[in-house]
Amino acid sequence: MAPILELHKITKRFGGLVAVSGVEISLDKGRIASIIGPNGAGKTTIFNSITGVYKPEEGTVVFDGHPITGMRPDQITAMGMCRTFQNIRLFQNMSVMENVMVGAHTRTTQSTGIGAVLRTKAFREAEEAVRLKAKQLLRFVDLPLGLGDQLARNLPYGQQRRIEIARALAAEPKLILLDEPTAGMNPQETEAAIRLFRRLRDEMGITVLLIEHDMKVVMGISEWVSVIDYGQKIAEGTPAEVRKNQRVIEAYLGRHATVHEG
Amino acid sequence: MSEQPGKSSGSKSTKRDLSDEGLITRLLAGPLGPIFVIGYLAVVTFLLYREPRALLLRFLLFAGLLLIYYMPHKAWLKLLLAGVTVVAIIPAVGLKNPFLLEIGFQVATFATLALGLNIVVGFAGLLDLGYVAFFAVGAYLWAIFGSQQLWQLHSSPGTATVYNVFPLGAWWFWPFLIFGITAAAGAGMLLGTPVLRLRGDYLAIVTLGFGEVIRVLANNLDKPINLTNGPQGITPIQRPPLPDFILHGALPNWLSQVSGRTIGEGDMYAFFFYFLAVVWLVFTIAFAGRLENSRLGRSWTAIREDDVAAVAMGVPLRRTKLTAFAIGAAFSGAMGVIYAANRTFVSPETFSLTQSISVLVMVILGGLGSIPGVVLGAAIVTMLNIDVLQTLSLQLSSLRQGTGMIPLIGVPWAELPTQLDPARYQRLVFGLLLIIMMIFRPEGIIPSRRRKLELHEDDDPLAPPADSENVLITSTGGD
Ligand SMILES: Nc1ncnc2c1ncn2[C@@H]1O[C@H](COP(=O)(O)OP(=O)(O)OP(=O)(O)O)[C@@H](O)[C@H]1O
Ligand SMILES: [Mg+2]
């Protein structure tokens, strides 16, 4: 199948620190894939370079056949890629519904404020459509009913993670990037999250790229794994191949005493 | 961690609502509420008609509007009562005491400014300390074109011969309302573009500088061409033409008979400007309120909350911030045109940094991001400014002329130093007011729903997930 995302020799530096160095990743459409690696390996920096938060010093990112390097994050989102953040970044003082509605920004047509001020029919219809969509997405991520009017900050952590995914889904992405989406979850919540990631692909047809620390999640659902260490890709392959790879074992054992495996 | 539905925290916050301004709301609830409010308005109006100069009564009349706001009734009933107060009662009492119209005009003017600033600071979270510059743009626009200034471009201030004709007819006032909006919005973009990348303190400092630049320009653009007439200011500025039957005919005659006071051209203009400012204020309220609940309004809030997340969700930062600056500025641009015509005089003094701060105080006092709060804040600050403190000063000075003694300390009033004039303590009073507010009610008098929950979360044991901190540690520390 054709790749939906290709990274060609991506390099990102922070002053003297080379956080990502010459990384090549190719992600096929319709896959669930993971990026793994020890702390500080450069995984989040790769996400930020893909989504336009950072502009990589070298290399190109190709999304769905179009080069997107140097484009602004909102333009990239409009093209059909959306993400969540490692440390949840919901709009804390907005309601759950409003959060998801902001996610739909690039998919709604009220271009100016004029329609809003005149409360035109087109405006009201667009507004109603966004509401409906937000409700459906909140149901899709299994958020308990009736929480839509709560402020995001008032909800427990696990639910905030789900809302963040719903918000990203509102942008109708072809590709969703999830940065450590199960971090801090208990085993049952992790199970539920894994089911949700599968449904993203199976029911919505979205390609999923995860950054994961939890080996159970990585091995459980990824079909392809890229391993990053010190900003470089040191291995890639199916989960079974990767876990046997000598360099991967060293990378993890070298800095950490234990390897968590499911 | 278990996911417990946050319903309980919801009921908590509603409970707080009830115990808070709920007291007034409960008093006004039920069918007796409207009767009470109508009675209150009737009594205040009657007393004010008998005693048009009583400060307390003026205050109570405006407080009536607040009562109406707190009525827990249908919107149409509240709108009707508020409409009657603004359109009938205040002008009726204004027949007796035109000062009431002046207060109404200034409150509406500054409420509009505060609403515009609220879009930038309250909704979009961009601290702007030079906001009054946009007001100045509108005011000077009409001042330059609506006066004889254009004849004097090549003479230094005060030396030109005075002509009888104005370069533009007075009716140009109306198109200039639109030009004022456009020019101020343009100035908003002009300011917005270079400061797009700045946040917080840096943004505040640059906007402060921008405000000063506009004022200094107004002060110094009397050479090489005399555009602004320098520190002397521009006068006379034309008022829009009113039809003759309003200014001279049966209407003022009849009003004179009713009120027992000669109602002249000036009074009719006072009515006109009062209504014009109120119309523009109502328009601004509707505009801001509807924008708040739209895609644009949500984008502003999203940027205020977390601009990295907002842009990742597809909100274009540049354009969204620029629209906040432009729309916020536009409201005050039109008000500037109205203000210049009302005063028939503008000078740089009106547009000082303290004026910018004053408008900011209105916003913060009333409740950042809250439209009713901001209007109330503007009313309180303006009335303190032009009415309460001035009246107290006047009363003091009349006491000073008498032979009475100050109670308790036994010093004659006449020996009270003039330095103790309340009017001189304007800034002090605002400062104290702000400090008191920040201690007891940092979210403002009528807080926006968000602010309130944000600042009082420690009252609410269920608000933040108790273990969010642990989670953050595991999410960054584990592998
Ligand atoms: N904005 C920044 N400025 C300077 N250095 C940065 C910045 N962002 C990341 N780094 C550095 O780049 C390196 C890679 O960081 P990154 O956040 O991408 O790691 P990660 O693989 O996501 O780690 P973790 O598993 O802890 O999330 C780290 O050494 C980090 O300190
Ligand atoms: Mg990371």
pLDDT (tens digit, 0 to 9) for every residue of chain B, 479 residues total?
A: 343 443 333 333 433 443 445 677 777 777 788 888 889 999 998 898 888 888 888 888 888 888 888 888 888 888 999 999 999 899 988 888 889 999 999 999 999 999 999 999 999 999 999 999 999 999 999 999 998 888 888 777 766 666 677 888 889 999 999 999 999 999 999 888 888 888 778 888 999 999 999 999 999 988 888 888 889 999 889 999 988 888 888 888 888 888 888 888 888 999 999 999 999 999 999 999 999 989 999 999 999 999 999 999 999 999 999 999 999 999 999 999 999 999 999 999 989 888 899 999 999 999 999 999 999 999 999 988 888 887 888 888 888 887 777 777 777 777 777 777 777 777 788 888 889 888 888 888 888 876 665 555 444 433 344 333 333 333 333 33
Residue B269 lies in a domain: yes
Residues paired with A34 in a beta bridge: A210, A225
- Evaluated on CA atoms B165, B167, B171, B176, the torsion sign reads negative
What's the rounded Cα separation, in Å, for the pair B133 and B277?
19
Q: Which of A172, A204, A229 is the last residue of a domain?
A: A172
Contact: A87, B476; criterion CB under 8 Å: yes
What's the rounded Cα separation, in Å, for the pair B218 and B233?
8
Q: Give me the pLDDT at residue B199, please.
A: 78
Contact: B471, A93; criterion CB under 8 Å: no
Q: Give me the pLDDT at residue B21, please.
A: 54
Q: Which of A139, A172, A205 is the last residue of a domain?
A: A172
Nearest to B302 among A91, A113, A126 (CB): A91
| CATH number of the domain within which A217 lies | 3.40.50.300
Name the residue with higher pLDDT: B360 or A256.
Answer: B360
The shortest C-alpha distance from A92 to chain B (Å) reads 7
**Contact call for residues A225 and A239 (beta carbons, < 8 A):** yes
Nearest CA in chain B to A86: B475
Contact: A146, B5; criterion CB under 8 Å: yes
The shortest C-alpha distance from B272 to chain A (Å) reads 26
Residues with C-beta less than 6 Å from any ligand 1 atom: A 14, 17, 19, 37, 39-45, 86; B 476
Residue A106 lies in a domain: yes
Q: Which ligand is nearest to the CA of A179?
A: 2
What's the rounded Cα separation, in Å, for the pair A119 and B290?
8
Residue B322 lies in a domain: yes
Gap between the terminal Cα atoms of chain B: 18
Q: Give me the pLDDT at residue B452, please.
A: 61
A61 shares a domain with A181: yes
Q: Per-residue confidence at A173, pLDDT binned at 50, 70, 90?
A: very high
What's the rounded Cα separation, in Å, for the pair B195 and B120?
13
Residue B104 lies in a domain: no
Report ipTM for this prediction: 0.91
Residue A202 lies in a domain: yes
| Residues in CB range of B224: below 8 A, 6 or more apart | none
Nearest to B291 among A91, A116, A127 (CB): A116
> Domain residues for A138?
90-172
Residue B460 lies in a domain: no
Q: Are strands A175-179 and A81-83 parallel, antiparallel or unpaired?
A: parallel
Ranges A28-42, A44-58, B113-127, B392-406: which has the least confidence = B392-406
Residue A85 lies in a domain: no
A262 shares a domain with A184: yes
- Amino acid in position B248: H
Please state the domain count of chain A.
2
Residue A56 lies in a domain: yes
Residue B472 lies in a domain: no
Name the residue with higher pLDDT: A64 or B260.
Answer: A64
What's the rounded Cα separation, in Å, for the pair B61 and B41?
7
Q: Per-residue confidence at A175, pLDDT binned at 50, 70, 90?
A: very high
Name the residue with higher pLDDT: B300 or A149.
Answer: B300
Q: Per-residue confidence at A111, pLDDT binned at 50, 70, 90?
A: low
E strand segments, chain A: 3-14, 17-28, 32-36, 58-63, 66-67, 81-83, 175-179, 207-211, 224-229, 232-237
Residues of A in contact with B14 (CB under 8 A): none
Residue of B241, B234, B278, B227 whose CA lies nearest to B109: B278
Q: Give me the pLDDT at residue B194, please.
A: 85
Name the residue with higher pLDDT: A214 or A196.
Answer: A196
What's the rounded Cα separation, in Å, for the pair B8 and B345?
58
A159 shares a domain with A98: yes
The shortest C-alpha distance from B105 to chain A (Å) reads 25
Going by alpha carbons, the residue nearest to atom 28 of ligand 1 is: A40
Q: Give me the pLDDT at residue B453, please.
A: 57
What's the rounded Cα separation, in Å, for the pair B140 and B234?
9
- Report the run of H or E that residue B45 belongs to, with start and end: helix B32-50
By residue count, chain A amounts to 262
> Domain residues for B343?
116-367
B interface test, pick of A50, A101, A102, A141 with most B CB neighbours within 10 Å? A102
Residue of B89, B99, B101 whose CA lies nearest to B42: B89
A133 shares a domain with A55: no
Q: Give me the pLDDT at residue B7, please.
A: 38
Residue B353 lies in a domain: yes
A195 shares a domain with A67: yes
Q: Give me the pLDDT at residue B461, please.
A: 38
Q: Which of A172, A205, A237 is the last residue of a domain?
A: A172
Q: Give me the pLDDT at residue B343, please.
A: 93
A182 shares a domain with A166: no
What's the rounded Cα separation, in Å, for the pair B290 and B301?
14
Going by alpha carbons, the residue nearest to atom 1 of ligand 1 is: A14
Please state the domain count of chain B.
1
- Amino acid in position B7: K
A251 shares a domain with A177: yes
Residue B205 lies in a domain: yes
| Residues in CB range of B35: below 8 A, 6 or more apart | none
| Residues in CB range of B74: below 8 A, 6 or more apart | none
Nearest CA in chain A to B327: A113
The rounded Å distance from CA B22 to ligand 1 centre is: 49
Q: Give me the pLDDT at residue B22, please.
A: 63
A74 shares a domain with A14: yes
Going by alpha carbons, the residue nearest to atom 31 of ligand 1 is: A40
